[in-house]
Amino acid sequence: MIKESHEWIPLFHIPIPKKHNPMVLISTQRRVSIRLETLKESEDLRIEGLEAYPKVKELISSFISKLFEEVSMKVGLEILVNTPEGVHEGFLYAFITNAVVELLSGEFNEDLIKAATVIDSLLNLEDFVYGLRRTYLASEPFIWRVGDDPISINRKLTAYVDAIFKQQMGSSTEMQLTDLITHLSGLTTIHIFRALRDGSELRDLIRVYNGIWYILYEVIPPKIAENERYFIVYPDIGNVVIAEVRFH
């Protein structure tokens, strides 16, 4: 089985422990392709093409191991990945493991997404991985929160990510205003989605959004905008990404 997809990222989302905050998921210009096959004479797991992503490879192996435990079966798998450098690790994990589920089940739907997220929770993965799983069935950017239905932007829009800086994601700062900041974070993400949908100005909203990252995680806010390019903070597995982004 061969699967191809543009990379998707949780471009606007601020994870807060024990809270389910909304997220805006959007595809980028980068493409990933994978080829998956079952092995007839072996129960080995062979993964090639993720040498630059050891953490992703380890998580995929753990997911498949737990999946086989849940379904009381085991088959050999060969997974060949063709991906550029700098692709979102959460997307790689979600895309590849979704494809594994589709290969083994012969189909892919909402129920299988929910089943896969049970294993994600055992691996202590964040909500945005759940959101990235949903991109497997999406064609347009959308906003979504755990427990709600996704809302599509209803127009074609791509995030062109031209420069990326990553830093390790620390623990969020505990404070008396956490509930208020959580509410502000959610409202800001919703207003950003509406601005993207309507083609409205983003500069002030992104300033607030990046500022919340600083308040909670001490991520120093980058520059806001320059020649229609925005500097945006968003989460990855164990990391914070600061990217230069333009929309088209």
How far CA 148 is from CA of 21, 151, 200, in Å, comes to: 11, 9, 25
Q: Among all chains, which residue has been given the structure tokens 């805006």?
A: 24
- Distance of alpha carbon 55 from alpha carbon 39, whole angstroms: 24
pLDDT computed for residue 195 by the predictor:
98
Stretches in the chain below the pLDDT threshold 50:
none
Which domains does the chain show, CATH number per domain? 2-144 (3.30.230.10), 162-247 (no CATH)
Provide the token pair at 228. Answer: 């229609």
CA atoms within 13 A on the CB side of 53: 26
- pLDDT score recorded for residue 41: 87
Instruction: Please give the model's pTM, rounded to 2 decimal places.
Output: 0.95
Longest distance between any two alpha carbons in the chain, whole Å: 58
Q: Is the Cβ–Cβ distance between 26 and 8 less than 8 Å?
A: yes
Polymer length in residues for the chain? 248
Contact between 127 and 92 (Cβ < 8 Å)? no
Are 235 and 16 within 8 A, CB to CB?
A: no
| SS3 label, residue 227 | coil
161-172 tens-digit pLDDT: 987 888 888 776
Is the CB of residue 31 less than 8 Å from the CB of residue 62? Answer: no
3-state secondary structure 12-29: ECCCCCCCCCCEEEEEEE
